[in-house]
Chain A
Amino acid sequence: MNLQATSDLSRPWLTGIREAIPLLGGYIPVAISFGLVTVQAGFSTWEAALISTLIYAGASQFLFVGMVTGGAPLWLVVVMTLLINVRHVVYAPNLAPWLTHHRCWPWLMHGLTDQVFALAHSRLPQLAERQRLGWFTGAALLAWGSWIAGTTLGAVAGEWLTSRWPLLGEIMPFALPSLFLVLVVPRFTSRQWSLALCTTIVTAMLCTLAGVTNLGIPLAAILGALCFYAVQFDTRNRRQE
């Protein structure tokens, strides 16, 4: 799982699967919770699995089920869940320079979650062009499959699992912050990036503590970008003086 450039990957899809394994620690416990919450809200097991298969977006799925159960109008449910996912619009263009001309790529974007994007954004530039489609397919399919499997497991046996191993659901999700940390740390390359990254992390944490997580993600990223540009502007001004 070395992050260094690798050009001798004979089976890139297998490498993609292997490198996406750390995602499972975060995906499966959350998917189990979603399956459990969904059947408790009155949906059947296969309906819960189908929601995870089709929508495949963690936070918005919880919101979808919560709002439907609360009796909200369905148009509002759709609008709110889509609003949460708006951040996804910046993901694919960031990967585009490294994608080949294969016609499958637009369809594979169904698997472009926060985590898969973070992983792909780090790894695709290091892979040879011919390996990228296989790598992304392997990584995205493992993540998608684990999300669907976790939801089904949660719907069928979520209550039993959480009572049998209560700590597991508490400990395994730490795989996500841990993975994000590994993906973000190499970006601390200059004062400008460090300031932007720290601003983003602190803002996102404060927004989460204030209970506005979904608004917090784009807000924190925009504030971080403003810091990035402020330093750039300041540096240019000093050079001109």
Chain B
Amino acid sequence: MSSELWIAVLATAIGTFLMRCLPLVWMRRRIRKLAESDRIDAMPQWLSILGPLMITAVLGVSLVPSDPASPLSWLATAIGAIATLLVWYRTRSLGWPVAAGVATYGAVIVVAGMGG
């Protein structure tokens, strides 16, 4: 890699790190200024709403199959998602619903692949 390319890698790495780190420094100062009992309220409401919605947006993106033209991949995604939700409803845990979702999704892909 050329030295210019290394500089580009470092600039991107430092920029990405600062975008993750500086808002924390800002928020910690804001919290420190307010009373200890108001720690949660120190966060502006729009920010506390936007955080969970960013995760939800990433969920939306990840629900679209890599081959959106294939009805099978949509079917497998839907069945995998239902399996995840059912196991979550029963166990209220983190690992088992994910394992069940992946196994079900994989089973639909494999079985449909054998049939096709």
Which A residues are closer than 8 A to B by beta carbons? Answer: 1-4, 18-19, 21-22, 25-26, 43-44, 47, 50-51, 54-57, 60, 64, 68, 74, 77-78, 81-82, 85-97, 99, 105-107, 109-110, 112, 114-115, 117-118, 121, 167, 170-185, 187, 196-197, 200-205, 207-209, 213, 216-218, 220-222, 224-225, 228
- What residues on B are CB-neighbors of A25 within 8 Å? 98, 102
B75 is an interface residue with CB less than 8 A from chain A: no
Q: Is the CB of B106 within 8 A of A171?
A: yes
Whether B102 and A178, one on each chain, are in contact in the complex, defined by CB atoms closer than 8 angstroms, is yes
Contact at A114–B98, with CB atoms within 8 Å? Answer: no
CB contacts (< 8 Å) of A209 on chain B: these are 64, 68
Determine the main DSSP class of B at the interface with A.
Answer: helix
Q: Could you tell me the distance in whole angstroms from the C-beta of A161 to the nearest C-beta in chain B?
A: 17
Cβ contact within 8 Å between B102 and A174? yes
Per-residue CB proximity of B48-61 to A under 8 Å, as 1/0?
11111111111111
Contact A78 B24 (CB under 8 A): no
Quick one: closest B residue to A208, CB to CB?
B64
B101 touches A178 (CB 8 A): yes
Given contacts A18-B95, A77-B12, 15 further A-B contacts (CB under 8 A): A1-B94, A1-B96, A25-B102, A64-B8, A82-B19, A89-B22, A90-B54, A94-B43, A109-B17, A117-B55, A121-B52, A174-B105, A175-B101, A181-B81, A217-B61
Docked complex Cα distance between A109 and B10 (Å): 17
24 example contacts (A-B, Cβ-Cβ < 8 A) are as follows A21-B95, A22-B99, A51-B9, A55-B12, A57-B16, A77-B12, A78-B12, A82-B15, A82-B16, A89-B19, A91-B51, A96-B31, A118-B55, A167-B106, A171-B102, A171-B109, A175-B101, A175-B102, A177-B81, A179-B94, A205-B60, A216-B60, A218-B54, A224-B53
**Could you tell me the distance between the alpha carbons of A165 and B12 in the complex, rounded to whole angstroms?**
33
Q: Is residue B25 within 8 Å, beta carbon to beta carbon, of the partner chain?
A: yes
* A88:B51 contact, CB within 8 angstroms: no
Contact B60 A204 (CB under 8 A): yes
Assess whether A105 is in contact with B98, with CB atoms less than 8 Å apart: no
In-complex Cβ contact of A221 among B19, B40, B56, B68 (8 A): B56
- The answer on a CB contact under 8 Å between A114 and B20 is no
Chain B residues with CB below 8 A from A220, complex form? 53, 56-57, 60
Tell me how far the C-beta of B53 lies from the nearest C-beta in chain A, rounded to whole angstroms.
4
A217 and B21 contact, CB distance less than 8 A: no
Which of A18, A26, A55, A181 counts the most B-chain CB atoms under 10 A from its CB?
A181
A200 to B55, CA, bound (A): 10
Closest Cβ–Cβ distance, residue A45 to chain B (whole Å): 12
- Return the chain A residue nearest B88 by Cβ: A182
**Closest A-B pairs by Cβ, 6 of them:** A204-B60, A178-B101, A94-B51, A92-B24, A180-B59, A54-B13
Across the interface, do A224 and B84 meet the contact criterion of CB distance under 8 Å?
no
Residues of B within 8 A of A81 (CB): 12, 16
Q: Are B58 and A170 in contact (CB under 8 A)?
A: no
Contact A201 B19 (CB under 8 A): no
